[in-house]
């Protein structure tokens, strides 16, 4: 079946949902993710906390978009969970013509990549250009009869529900992996208390920067997400920045974000790379300590608490890891064979969790887009 393309204005109409802001009234604020990923739940604010004179109240069954981000898919259908939330005037609000169109069909339609592709602005200043409601409503989209819309929406609802269920299983698997990590660390056999400084040494391998040489820097992600590689730079671009060599096997800590899990073990891929003075490189006494075990320990609840205690100060970049207090901190260390046993188990579980997670995200997105393409070209 071939669907006729008609202006979106046949299904949606711009509505004035604005309300004057009252200083002592609370407003649950929402935003819109790009790439058709729906609405964002932001903080609840008092009217006195916004500079806007008016805010628009969203109702379930409406559609809203970001004027700045519509071209990259910042368009969303309002479900029941966002009923009564508010957006700024940068987010036009639209009602669905329910007499001739199924809101469920429209909810899927506004997430379709081919819809947003019609809104892509041209030129280098694209991100500064806004999509107006008139431009949005003028694009042509497949709008079959309401009976056909209902049929397609029912099939999409069923298929997307299965994808959501699969996503829940993936998240449950990640929770189970984290629970396994905590359990194995907490119940390790025969631990003895050792100071951090007695089992590993801070090793600073200063690198002399040559203006014409090329250097490959690393960074550390928070929350145990590991090392990432920065683009290569010349010594000239580094200027007076101090850098230090990284070697495979080093235990790495970000001095400013160790307290939130910016901890990793350098792999072979990091051999020969460099880091700034913000990245602390430790070499372990491998007769008593296993680097993988210690990485998992410092990413556990107990280990993060040690790092937080040793990172005084306020929030963010003021919470710098105190080297002396860190070296003096005592941690429970099981015998080396027990460390290695736990590390092997957790490495296997981590690899499975990461592989399953990345593969699921890629396949789920490809499946979602394929379903939408089939649905709106009459092939579902």
Can you give the CATH number for the domain in which 29 is found?
3.90.220.20
Residue that is last in its domain, among 310, 333, 356: 333
pLDDT at 171: 75
- One domain, residues 126 and 183: no
pTM over 0.85? The answer is no
Per-residue confidence (pLDDT) for residue 139, from 0 to 100: 95
Same domain, 25 and 94: yes
The mean pLDDT of 306-311, rounded to a whole number, is 95
Residue 289: what pLDDT? 96
Q: How many residues does the chain have?
A: 380
CB 52 within 8 A of CB 88: yes
32 and 51 part of one domain = yes
Q: What pLDDT digit, counting tens, does each position of 134-184 carry?
A: 999 999 999 999 999 999 999 999 999 888 887 777 777 778 888 999 999
Question: H-helix or E-strand containing 115?
Answer: helix 113-116
For residue 313, pLDDT beyond 90: no
In a 3-state reduction of DSSP, which class is residue 11? coil
Q: With bands split at pLDDT 50, 70 and 90, how would you rate the model's confidence at 120?
A: low
Identify the domain containing residue 48 by its residue range: 5-143
Would you say the C-alpha torsion 164, 170, 174, 179 has a positive or negative sign?
positive
Three-class secondary structure of residue 137 per DSSP: helix
């Amino acid at each position: 079946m071939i669907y006729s393309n008609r202006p979106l204005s046949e299904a949606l109409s711009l509505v004035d949902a604005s309300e004057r802001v009252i200083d002592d009234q609370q407003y649950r604020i929402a935003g819109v993710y790009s790439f058709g990923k729906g609405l964002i739940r932001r903080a609840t604010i008092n009217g006195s906390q916004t500079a806007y004179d008016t805010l628009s109240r969203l109702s379930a069954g409406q559609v809203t978009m970001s004027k700045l981000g519509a071209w990259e898919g910042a368009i969303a259908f309002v479900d029941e969970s966002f009923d009564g939330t508010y957006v700024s005037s940068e987010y036009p609000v639209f009602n669905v013509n329910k007499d001739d169109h199924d809101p469920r069909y429209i909810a899927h339609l506004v997430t379709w990549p081919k819809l947003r592709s019609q809104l892509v602005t041209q030129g280098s200043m694209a991100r500064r250009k806004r999509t107006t409601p008139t431009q949005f409503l003028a694009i042509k989209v497949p709008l079959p009869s309401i009976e056909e819309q209902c049929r397609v929406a029912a099939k999409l609802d069923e298929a997307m529900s299965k994808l959501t269920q699969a996503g829940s299983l993936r998240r449950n698997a990640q929770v189970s992996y984290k629970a396994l990590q905590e359990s194995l660390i907490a119940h390790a056999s025969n631990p003895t208390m050792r100071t951090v400084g007695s089992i590993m040494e801070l090793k600073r391998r200063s690198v002399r920067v040559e203006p014409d040489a090329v250097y490959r820097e690393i960074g550390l992600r928070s929350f145990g997400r590991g090392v990432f590689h920065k683009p290569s730079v010349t010594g000239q671009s580094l200027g007076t920045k101090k850098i230090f060599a990284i070697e495979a096997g080093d235990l790495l800590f970000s001095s400013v974000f160790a307290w939130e899990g910016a901890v990793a073990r350098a792999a072979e891929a990091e051999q020969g790379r460099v880091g700034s003075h913000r990245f602390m490189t430790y070499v372990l006494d491998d007769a008593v300590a296993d680097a993988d075990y210690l990485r998992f320990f410092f990413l556990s609840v107990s280990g993060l608490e040690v790092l937080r205690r040793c990172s005084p100060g306020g929030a963010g970049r003021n919470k710098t890891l105190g080297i002396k207090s860190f070296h003096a901190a005592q941690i429970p260390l099981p015998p080396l064979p027990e460390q290695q046993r736990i590390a092997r188990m957790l490495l296997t579980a981590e690899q499975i969790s990461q592989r399953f997670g990345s593969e699921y995200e890629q396949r789920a997105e490809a499946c979602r887009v394929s379903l939408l393409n089939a649905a709106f070209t009459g092939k579902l």
